[in-house]
Amino acid sequence: MHKIGKLPAEKLMRKRFPKIKINDKISKVIKTLLKTDTSVVPVFEGRKFIGEIHELDMLKIVVDTKEIPEEEIITLGFGLDMGYFAKTARDIVRRHEISISSKTKIKEASFIMLKEGVKSLPVMKNKRLVGILTERDILKRVMKKGLEK
């Protein structure tokens, strides 16, 4: 295990991050993603953290839905994936069921990311978002400290 794995998430997480409101237009979401050093932005309804939007999800808005199979747009019987027709953040936000605390070790957070196939984890304290930990944050620290174990 790499030494960095022993650190708590609070040492690497982003404490300052852009915020998107649930009713913000897609153009604002794109502008925010492009001007930051992250591929994910959190979405809020009032002060409540709802989920996040990933850069990759934004590609849905340029897909011609007439040219892809219907089952790609209708997600596992849960209904229409509104991301393909997104007008506001509400249409494309990923509701996040996975989160970690600021004390979660990086080795555990990394394993959760791998197991769940996610590139970021919200860091919660008392049901409030206090940070975001991304794969990029972890890899930057690895490179800064070196690859030694």
Number of H helices, E strands in the chain: 4, 6
Q: What is the pLDDT along the chain (149 residues), one digit of tens a residue?
A: 578 899 999 999 999 888 899 999 999 999 999 988 778 899 999 988 999 998 888 888 887 777 777 766 766 556 667 777 889 999 999 887 789 999 999 999 999 999 988 888 999 998 899 999 999 899 988 888 766 55
The enclosing domain of 25 has a CATH number of: 3.10.580.10
The total of structural domains in the chain comes to: 1
Distance CA 137, CA 44 (A): 22
Residue 13, number of CB atoms within 10 A of its CB: 24
Helix, strand, coil shares of the chain as percentages rounded to 5?
A: 40, 25, 35
Task: At 64, list the tokens.
Answer: 């011609």
CA distance linking residue 123 with residue 134, whole number of Å: 10
The whole-model pTM stands at: 0.79
Q: Which domain holds residue 100?
A: 3-145
